[in-house]
Amino acid sequence: MTIQALTQSIRQKKSYLCVGLDSDITKIPKHLLSSADPVFEFNKQVIDATLDFCVSYKINTAFYESRGLKGWESLEKTIRYIPATHFTIADAKRGDIGNTSSQYAKAFFEELNFDAVTVAPYMGADSIQPFLEYGNKCTIVLGLTSNPGAKDFELLPAGNERLYEKVLRTVSNWGTPDNLMFVIGATRAEEFTNIRRILPDHYFLVPGVGFQGGSLKDISEKAMNSNVGILVNVSRAIIFAGEKEDFAAEAATIASQYHQEMSNYL
């Protein structure tokens, strides 16, 4: 799915919700542990329950990589289960020298066929270029993150601007709004007006709503542009809304609430 198709889907559904499948096997309902693949069964039921309320799914690869081969099998089955009507993101935060990045890009864009992957910009243009060479895919660059450690580097002064601002301005020249998005944390709502001035046309992937306390209202008012331009990720607040056999129905209820609120802002 392209950025243009994502925008069309958002307008049709009146939702810019991305459901994060941070599927920690230690937190899924206990009755699923007897399944042949508990994590995939959990994901499958969450996807079935939330499909109508969201436009995207983000798979945080750490929760799958940590389980070795079994985890990768769960990941592969999950990405193949998500229908093509939804924008798929590998939250992998890759970024390395060019020949290594080209292998990461091949893994996520060709082998697993994700629509997008998150990358870290620290190593510069040649570490990100291999991802951008896939014209029908999207590269999502870490811009200003929602974690407390963002102050260690991202918010430091860099000449007459802050480091994260320099990153946004520089990286925006490496691609286009059609193949380049940025991660901007929801807990940085006070920065969104400034960030939108720097990047008037790009999409933002916005984590940090829900358990991390970001305000959907603030983000929507300050970050949305004429093409919508935001994809808000909610993970734990949706997928772990329930702990019992009706967990999927509980997930659907929360996803529906986000969908309803988003429809009011569009």
Query: Could you give the residue numbers annotated as active site?
Result: 93
How far apart CA 7 and CA 229 sit, in angstroms, is 8
Instruction: Report whether 53 contacts 256 (CB < 8 A).
Output: yes
Taking the C-alpha atoms of residue 66 and residue 68, their distance in angstroms, rounded to an integer, is 6
Length of the chain: 266
- Closest Cα partner for 46 from 233, 261, 235? 235
Contact present, 90 and 114 (Cβ < 8 Å): yes
Strands 161-162 and 157-158: antiparallel
Separation CA 146–CA 128 (nearest Å): 22
In one-letter notation, the amino acid at residue 167 is V
Rounded (5°) CA angle 124-179-55: 125
Closest residue by Cα to residue 80 from 59, 101, 54, 106: 59
SS3 content of the chain, % helix, strand, coil (to 5): 45, 20, 35
End-to-end CA distance of the chain: give it in Å, rounded: 21
